[in-house]
């Protein structure tokens, strides 16, 4: 369909000689090998005509003030299809439109290649599968490995469903895309959708640009009223806040701030003081409020093709009966391997020991408040503060120490009648304070209602799993809980609605056996098999030539408190780092072990920059990318979602198999199993394998990348119980027996410049 060529030039000139086409006309192109498209100038405009070689008839296509360039010919396709009905082409009788399968094929095989994109068969198959899932299934699980181009695949599939599927074609609802990371939301909004829109506009497939809106929680956006209060309060202590006042005056937030995620020069604490919070009703600054206008723009149903949001807001929207987002029939959940984790946060709650004081202080120290002079209000504030301190002091006394990983420590406690009474009293005190601030719009509901709601959840302890987390750095306690039945909640919220179809996609959703664990974790196993579609789209990269896998036999059983184990890890890491000439990311599951190994290796004169990633060091990954041949000691975010394209990252060392940390939800699963081995194989190993694949996936990010993976966990060594499942999960990586073999491979695939550390590196998207 829609073939444009320049093969009709000779026929065009013959027709001019025969007098069937005026001699002043100029040939442009041939459409579908049947219609000669040409133009002539009349009354200062360019008139375009389609001449049908079959019928000998011509009809006007369009007029243009400017002559079209070759790159703009595709923008005429819609006009051509309309005009040729007058030449005998009878497709208009059937209200001719593209079939969705044709649309997908044309986009990926014809349109995108003309803009420099390669034709990827897996990407086309993925888009077709996603379209089938959106239009015929409740849920589609689609694992899309690195290099398959999943973002454009699901944008095209979603657009095809919105444009062509007759069931919901006329609702006007946008396609919803929910992701886990702000970076991906930004890429979709600023790169992927605008580029797809341009391509489809140029080819005449759509008549107006695609419109997308980004929806995040209100705390991500700038609030003029709160900023004015904050800036005024800073001036109460001008010497103490001199630098901050100067910085704010320099950037002029009231004119230049809106999406606070784009603001780089201020701390999260400062941004929180100027963000939208609480209830905006009766706000004196609502006229001209950019957040209010943003919400208004995002509610214009028929003008929006895609609404982009995060997992958290998407789930909250469904819990609130679709009051936060526009309704949708089609949803794409990207980075879906994080959905269950987000669900635990949304369905559960977390109360910081300092949260009540923060709210009370915000009210207490507001000069403009009418309440500060009222004695009964002061008494209510004091009672709430005392009740909060009493609750958390008692919790700390009653709690029993459990897991401890450096800065964060988990504490267990029993939800006794005494603790429930303390919670109820705090809730009552906060409700009294809340009653006082109902006439103060900027404080109405700010934090206070959230805390009250969280405390209310503890009234049914039999339905909860609960614990304390102790932040040693800030000396804060967090009171946490989560429902026991996360999978049931997900099923009722996401999958028990016949009017919405969802594609779940990610680079890593399967363990070594398939999608069963993922489906179980997300409540999908409760759906009939016929309502779920599964697909795995393999990476186009040639792992057999680009990679090698080494599993060490030289490190004892993991024990983070054992000095011999730590030394053995350090020894093996040193050998590997020297074998690969640096260019290494070492992935740890414990910051304690990370620091211990780092401290040992800094004494050994390793000739490469060594960079330690900590919870507070936000620049470690960027520093590593700039280092040329550095060694990054990493945990946390480095396990997934980080791209280091090129030789800068040529070795990934996985110190310990990433078994999940003990959580209340996992402890509950363990109790439900008949034995510990059953729990390990059914829950712990699948989670570990998915995260292991994520960590290994940091290595090859482009078709030219090469490198090696090393695993130092003896549980994956020969003869040990997890080896077979680990090897199956990483089967695309050829196994070598020694570090010498690994080094020999690296030396065959890397250029001389690699070893001289003067090569250029590039970052991924």
Q: Is 708 exposed, middle or buried (0-12, 13-18, 19+ CB in 10 A)?
A: buried
Helices assigned H by DSSP within 259-399: 268-273, 290-297, 311-319, 339-347, 355-364, 375-398
* Nearest residue to 224 via CA among 254, 203, 202: 254
Write down the pLDDT at residue 680. Answer: 92
**Dist. CA 240–CA 234, nearest whole Å:** 8
Quick: pLDDT tens for 368-427.
455 555 678 888 889 999 999 999 999 988 887 665 555 667 888 888 899 999 999 999
Write down the pLDDT at residue 94. Answer: 42
* Nearest residue to 338 via CA among 307, 319, 314: 314
CB neighbourhood size of 256 (10 A): 10
Helix/strand/coil for 605: coil
Helix and strand element counts for the chain (H, E): 30, 24
Interstrand relation of 631-634 and 707-711 (parallel, antiparallel or unpaired): unpaired
Write down the pLDDT at residue 742. Answer: 95
Spatial contact of 701 and 549, defined as CB atoms under 8 Å apart: no
* Nearest residue to 364 via CA among 350, 374, 354: 374
**Dist. CA 532–CA 499, nearest whole Å:** 15
CATH code for the part of the protein at 543-756? 3.40.50.300
Spatial contact of 638 and 698, defined as CB atoms under 8 Å apart: yes
- State phi, psi for 191 to the nearest 5 degrees: -120, -60
Residue linked to tokens 């949304």: 346
Spatial contact of 161 and 330, defined as CB atoms under 8 Å apart: yes
**Dist. CA 596–CA 598, nearest whole Å:** 5
Spatial contact of 554 and 572, defined as CB atoms under 8 Å apart: yes
**Dist. CA 29–CA 684, nearest whole Å:** 62
The one-character DSSP state at 338 is: G
Interstrand relation of 139-144 and 501-506 (parallel, antiparallel or unpaired): parallel
**Dist. CA 97–CA 169, nearest whole Å:** 13
**Dist. CA 503–CA 532, nearest whole Å:** 10
- State phi, psi for 8 to the nearest 5 degrees: -100, 15
Tokens of 266: 């201020």
Interstrand relation of 408-412 and 735-736 (parallel, antiparallel or unpaired): unpaired
> From residue 169, how far is each of 117, 155, 160, 206, 305 by CA, in Å?
29, 16, 10, 15, 12
Spatial contact of 304 and 211, defined as CB atoms under 8 Å apart: yes
Write down the pLDDT at residue 207. Answer: 82
In the chain, what are the domain boundaries? 4-94, 353-472, 543-756
Write down the pLDDT at residue 164. Answer: 87
Helix/strand/coil for 646: coil
Spatial strand order in the sheet of 58-64: 4-5, 26-31, 35-42, 45-52, 58-64
- State phi, psi for 409 to the nearest 5 degrees: -130, 135
Tokens of 51: 């001449």
Three-class HEC string of 473-503: CCCEEEEEEEECCHHHHHHHHHHCCCCCEEE
**Dist. CA 47–CA 652, nearest whole Å:** 62
Write down the pLDDT at residue 90. Answer: 45
Burial 159-193 (b: 16+ CB within 10 A, else e): bbbbebbeebeeeebbbbbbbbbeebbbebbeebb
**Dist. CA 695–CA 658, nearest whole Å:** 9
**Dist. CA 448–CA 115, nearest whole Å:** 53
Spatial contact of 309 and 160, defined as CB atoms under 8 Å apart: no
Non-local (6+) Cβ contacts of 257 within 8 A are 222, 227, 251, 263, 274
Spatial strand order in the sheet of 631-634: 610-612, 631-634, 584-587, 651-654, 707-711, 547-551, 735-736
Quick: pLDDT tens for 426-440.
999 998 888 877 666
Tokens of 136: 């015929």
Non-local (6+) Cβ contacts of 663 within 8 A are none
- Give all strands (DSSP E) within 646-717, no chain letters: 651-654, 707-711
**Dist. CA 96–CA 99, nearest whole Å:** 9
* Nearest residue to 480 via CA among 459, 448, 449, 455: 455
Write down the pLDDT at residue 400. Answer: 77
Write down the pLDDT at residue 347. Answer: 92
**Dist. CA 458–CA 349, nearest whole Å:** 10
**What's the chain's Rg over C-alpha atoms?**
31
The one-character DSSP state at 173 is: P
The one-character DSSP state at 259 is: B
Spatial contact of 311 and 333, defined as CB atoms under 8 Å apart: yes
- State phi, psi for 550 to the nearest 5 degrees: -125, 130
- Low-confidence residues of the chain: pLDDT under 50: 88-96, 367-368, 445, 758-765
**Dist. CA 687–CA 428, nearest whole Å:** 41
């Amino acid at each position: 369909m829609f073939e444009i060529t320049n093969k009709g030039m000779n026929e065009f000139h013959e027709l001019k000689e025969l007098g069937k086409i005026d001699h002043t006309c100029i040939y442009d192109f041939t459409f579908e090998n049947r219609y000669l498209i040409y133009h002539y100038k009349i009354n200062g405009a360019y008139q375009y005509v389609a001449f049908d070689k079959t019928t000998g008839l011509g009809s006007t296509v369009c007029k243009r003030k400017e002559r079209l360039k070759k790159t703009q010919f595709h923008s005429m396709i819609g006009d051509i299809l309309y005009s040729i009905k007058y030449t005998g082409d009878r497709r208009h009788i059937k209200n001719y439109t593209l079939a969705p399968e044709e649309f997908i094929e044309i986009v990926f095989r014809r349109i995108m290649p003309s803009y420099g994109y390669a034709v990827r068969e897996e990407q086309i198959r993925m888009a077709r599968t996603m379209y089938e899932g959106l239009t015929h299934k409740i849920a589609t699980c689609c694992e899309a490995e690195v290099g398959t181009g999943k973002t454009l695949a699901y944008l095209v599939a979603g657009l095809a469903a919105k444009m062509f599927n007759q069931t919901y074609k006329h609702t006007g609802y946008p396609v919803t895309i929910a992701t886990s990371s702000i970076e991906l939301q930004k890429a979709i909004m600023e790169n992927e959708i605008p580029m797809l829109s341009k391509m489809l506009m140029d080819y005449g497939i759509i008549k107006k640009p695609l419109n997308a809106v980004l929806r995040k929680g209100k705390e991500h956006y700038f609030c003029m009223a709160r900023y004015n209060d904050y800036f005024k309060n800073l001036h109460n202590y001008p010497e103490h806040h001199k630098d901050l006042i100067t910085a704010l005056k320099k950037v002029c937030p009231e004119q230049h701030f809106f999406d606070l995620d784009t603001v780089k020069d201020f701390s999260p604490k400062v941004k929180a003081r100027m963000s939208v919070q609480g209830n905006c009703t009766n706000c004196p600054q609502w006229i001209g409020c950019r957040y209010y206008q943003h919400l208004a723009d995002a509610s214009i149903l028929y003008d929006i093709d895609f609404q982009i949001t995060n997992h958290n807001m998407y789930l909250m929207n469904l819990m609130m009966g679709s009051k936060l987002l526009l309704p949708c029939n089609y949803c794409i959940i990207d980075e879906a391997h994080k959905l269950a984790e987000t669900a635990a946060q949304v369905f559960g709650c977390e109360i910081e020991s300092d949260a009540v004081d923060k709210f009370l202080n915000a009210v207490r120290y507001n000069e403009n408040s009418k309440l500060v002079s009222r004695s009964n209000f002061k008494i209510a504030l004091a009672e709430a503060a005392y009740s909060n301190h009493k609750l958390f002091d008692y919790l700390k006394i009653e709690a029993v120490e459990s897991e401890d990983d450096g800065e964060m420590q988990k504490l267990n406690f029993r939800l006794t009648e005494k603790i429930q009474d303390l919670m109820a009293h705090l809730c009552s005190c906060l409700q009294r304070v809340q009653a006082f601030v109902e006439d103060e719009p900027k404080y109405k509901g700010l934090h206070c209602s959230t805390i009250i709601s969280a405390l209310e959840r503890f009234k049914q302890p039999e339905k909860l799993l609960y614990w304390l987390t102790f932040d040693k750095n800030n000396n804060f306690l967090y009171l946490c809980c989560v429902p026991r039945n996360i999978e049931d909640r997900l099923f009722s919220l996401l999958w028990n609605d016949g009017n919405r179809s969802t594609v779940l996609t990610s680079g890593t959703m399967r363990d070594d056996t398939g999608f069963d664990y993922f489906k179980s974790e997300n409540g999908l196993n409760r759906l009939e098999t016929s309502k779920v579609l599964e697909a795995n789209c393999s990476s186009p990269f040639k792992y057999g030539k680009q990679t090698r896998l080494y599993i060490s036999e030289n490190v004892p059983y993991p024990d983070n408190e054992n000095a011999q184990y730590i030394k053995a890890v350090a020894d093996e890491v040193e050998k590997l780092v020297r074998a690969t000439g640096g260019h290494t990311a070492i992935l740890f599951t414990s910051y304690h072990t990370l620091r211990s190994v780092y401290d040992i290796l800094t004494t050994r004169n390793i000739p490469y920059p060594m960079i330690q990633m900590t919870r507070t060091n936000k620049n470690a990954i960027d520093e590593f990318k700039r280092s040329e041949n550095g060694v990054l000691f990493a945990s946390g975010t480095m396990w997934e979602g980080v791209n280091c394209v090129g030789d800068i990252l040529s070795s990934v060392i996985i110190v310990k198999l990433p078994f999940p940390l003990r959580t209340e939800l996992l402890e509950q699963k363990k109790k439900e199993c008949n034995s510990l081995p059953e729990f390990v194989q059914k829950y712990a190993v699948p989670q570990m394998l998915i995260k292991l694949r994520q960590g290994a996936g940091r290595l090859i990010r482009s078709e030219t990348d090469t490198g090696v993976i090393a695993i130092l966990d003896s549980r994956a060594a020969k003869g040990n119980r997890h080896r077979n499942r680990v090897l199956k999960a990483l089967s695309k990586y050829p196994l070598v027996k020694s570090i010498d073999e690994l080094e020999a491979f690296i030396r065959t695939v890397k250029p001389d410049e690699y070893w001289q550390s003067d090569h250029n590196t590039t970052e991924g998207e």
